Structure 1
Amino acid sequence: MIRIKKTLLMLSSAFAVATGTAQSQAQVFKAEEPLAHTYSIVARDPKTGEMAVGVQSHWFSVGTAVPWVEAGVGVVATQSFVNKSYGPLGLQLLKEGKTAEEALAILLAKDEAREVRQVSILDSKGNVATHTGKQCIRYAGHITGKNFSVQANMMLTDKVWPAMAKAFERSEGQPLAERVLIAMQAAEQEGGDIRGKQSAALVVVKGQRSEQPWDDKIIDLRVDDHEKPLDELARLLKVHRAYEHMNNGDLAIEKGQMQKAMEEYGKAEAMFPENLEMKYWHAIGLASSGQVDAAAKILREVYRKDDNWRELTARLPEVGLLNVSKKDLEKLLKAK
């Protein structure tokens, strides 16, 4: 941490000399402002209203600094020499009725260090405003399009953000999260961050705020430290989709729609055939619906790989998560 602070102070002093503003730099650069030189995308799906931020950087835990989101309001990506306040303040300005352009102008007007900032604001209607400061380390720039903006700084080449924009536009028709990931993968193919890669994040929120705001964030994935953060982010997104199928299967069982439940469970297991959790709850769902023999067949495979699941099966009836006869329970427990 001391070394990082010294580096920031050196960078601060160098910038002060270059711009002739040495006396104000103590207020402009702060040690708590992370150097999130990076590429990101803010985007909206016009069909669902969903909004997203995707980001990758050679900086630890970039997901804690760059993306800011609120369902029914908008999303913000703040980067380069990050001013985190741009996130919550930008969203607040949108809630007050300001346009994305007006909100960005207000934030920049109050910031002495605006020329080392890079920020993009997208509102719930798809309006977007983006700023790349003149002192952002090259290569730096942005492209705004219909319902999206891509922005990058300290890139290996100036082809990064154009590749992101093109990839996003060409992926139309796919789910928003996948489109955002495709755009970031395109950035990496053009060299990405000149320093390399370390962390990434992908956040998606609903287009409209619901009466259950704790469920308004649809996807919230972070890779804080990884040799290949985008690969890991892609894996996590796939896991997320698989568990969506599991949840859909559970709901189908509750409604007595067994065929749909089996289809959903099957889709999840096809994505991760070695995942015991998915196999296990699929079996419990079958047993609860009266298909004990089919459940025992799956449990046999699960127990063989980890016998702790057998003990879990014995504990489920006492909390009402497995309602079968004593005879059927014995069959499920003795599956070998």
Structure 2
Amino acid sequence: MTFSIVARCPHTGQIGVAASTAVQAVGKLACHAVPRVGAVASQALVNPYLAYDALRLLEQDVDAGTALKRVLELESQPENRQVGIVDRKGRVAAWTGSENIPWAGHIEGKQCMIQGNRLVGPWVIERMLQVMHDLEYLSLAERMVRAIQAGAVIGGDRHGERSVSIMVFGAEEYPLCDIRIDDHDQPMLELERLFTLYKQKVLPAVLKMPRRVGVPACA
């Protein structure tokens, strides 16, 4: 019931995760990231602990593929889960269990992985990947916004979309972009409105916020 992206920008090192679904509030439970570490989308029959545990492994510099293998080994219902991971070096991995609602699957791109279930067909994630590649000159946040919108336009979730999340981290602990639409009749139009406001007002303010990279944090 969700389509999502995990990605790393090869130019800036930014890490992001984005998702949309037909149910409420996709961001809190499905989208997870740690700056300078990686990002995970955990969806289908959601188990957030897959993301939490995978990110802890990525923090130890375990690669995305190994992290995915290790968290799935401890999972009691792997065939009901769907997971996408990108690590700090842009390596990606994904899992789509056999019990996911069709159409379900994932596709690997350049430092990104796109996955979805209960979609109208594989062309949804194929189109999203094309957009991610075609718009490499844009910021990671905008690339993911355009890819999510493209997935919805081409069919998206068979039950339509109600919620969207776009989250990107730069070098700092706080997010560079964090847009959440928890329940909306036209979430893609709302996403466009909020992303325009983000570029005009939020991003300039975020770029002026205090920075800690290279500075020891308080004990």
Rounded to whole Å, the distance in 1 between the matches of 2:205 and 2:79 is 46
Structure 2 CA distance for partners of 1:199 and 1:249, relative to 1, 3 Å: closer
Cα gap change, 1:161/1:245 in structure 2, threshold over 3 Å: closer, same or farther? closer
Q: Is the 8 A contact 1:82 1:117 kept in 2?
A: yes
- C-alpha change, 1:242 and 1:183, in structure 2 (3 Å) is same
Q: Is 1:218 aligned with 2:182?
A: no
Deviation at 1:185, TM superposition (A): 1.3
Amino acid paired to 1:102: T
How far apart are residue 97 of structure 1 and its match? 2.3
State whether structure 2 residue 41 is matched by structure 1 residue 77.
yes
The 2-side partners of 1:250 and 1:99 are apart by: 33
Displacement of 1:248: 9.1
Match of 1:178 in 2: 142
SS in 1 for 2:3: strand
Residue 167 of structure 1, CA deviation = 1.2
Q: CA separation in 2, counterparts of 1:162 and 1:94?
A: 27
Letter in 2 for 1:233: L
The superposition leaves residues 127-159 of structure 1 with CA deviations (integer Å, 9 ceiling, x where unpaired) of 010111111111011111121011010012221
Aligned residue for 1:167?
Answer: 131
Partner residue in 1 for 2:216? none
Equivalent in the alignment of 2:50: 86
- Structure 1 residue ranges, 4+ long, deviating more than 6 angstroms after superposition: 248-251
What does residue 217 of structure 2 align with?
Answer: none
* Shift, 1:230, TM fit: 1.9
Q: 1:148 to 1:59 in 2, by over 3 A?
A: same
- Whether the 8 Å contact between 1:56 and 1:230 is mirrored in structure 2 is no
Contact preservation (8 Å) 1:138, 1:155? yes
Query: Which structure exhibits the higher relative contact order, with contacts defined as CA atoms closer than 8 Å and separated by 6 or more residues?
Result: 2
Q: CA RMSD in A?
A: 1.8
Residue matched to 1:46: 10
| Of 158, 165, 184, the match for 2:122 | 158
Checking the alignment, whether the CA contact within 8 Å between 1:44 and 1:52 is kept in structure 2 is yes
Q: Which of residues 104, 111, 115 in structure 1 aligns to 2:68?
A: 104
Q: What is the aligned counterpart of 2:190 among 200, 225, 232?
A: 232
Match of 2:109 in 1: 145
How far apart, in 1, do the equivalents of 2:205 and 2:151 lie? 33
Equivalent position amino acid for 2:34 in 1:
E
Count of residue pairs the alignment pairs up? 209
Larger Rg: 1
Contact 1:177 1:204 (8 Å CA) reproduced: yes
SS at match of 2:102: coil
Find the residue that maps to 1:85 and give its secondary structure: helix
- Structure with the higher strand share, 1 or 2: 2
Q: Distance in 2 between matches of 1:248 and 1:108?
A: 36
Amino acid at match of 1:242: Q
Q: Aligned match of 1:187 in 151, 162, 173?
A: 151
Deviations 1:4-61 (A, max 9, x none): xxxxxxxxxxxxxxxxxxxxxxxxxxxxxxxxx2100111111110011110000111
The CA deviation string for residues 49-102 of structure 1, in whole angstroms up to 9 with x for no partner, is 001111000011111111101101000000000101012111101112211001
Which amino acid letter does the alignment assign opposite residue 151 of structure 1? Q
**Which whole-Å CA distance do the structure 1 matches of 2:65 and 2:45 have between them?**
21
Report if the CA contact (8 A) 1:165-1:183 is conserved.
yes
User: What 5-or-longer segments of structure 1 have no aligned partner?
Assistant: 1-36, 252-336
Q: Which has the higher helix share?
A: 1
User: Deviations for 1:225-251, whole angstroms, at most 9, x for unmatched residues?
Assistant: 001112212211111111157649999
Correspondence for 1:57 among 9, 21, 34: 21
Give the C-alpha shift of residue 124 in structure 1: 1.0
Relative distance call for 1:236 and 1:133 in structure 2 (3 A) is same
The alignment-based identity, stated in percent, is 35
Structure 2 portions without partners, runs of 5+ = 210-219
Say whether the 8 Å CA contact 1:61–1:200 is kept in structure 2. yes
TM-score (norm 1): 0.60
Secondary structure (helix, strand or coil) at the match of 1:105 reads helix
Q: Kindly tell me: are residues 193 and 47 of structure 1, through their superposed partners in 2, closer, same or farther at Cα, counting changes over 3 Å? A: same
TM-score by length of 2: 0.90
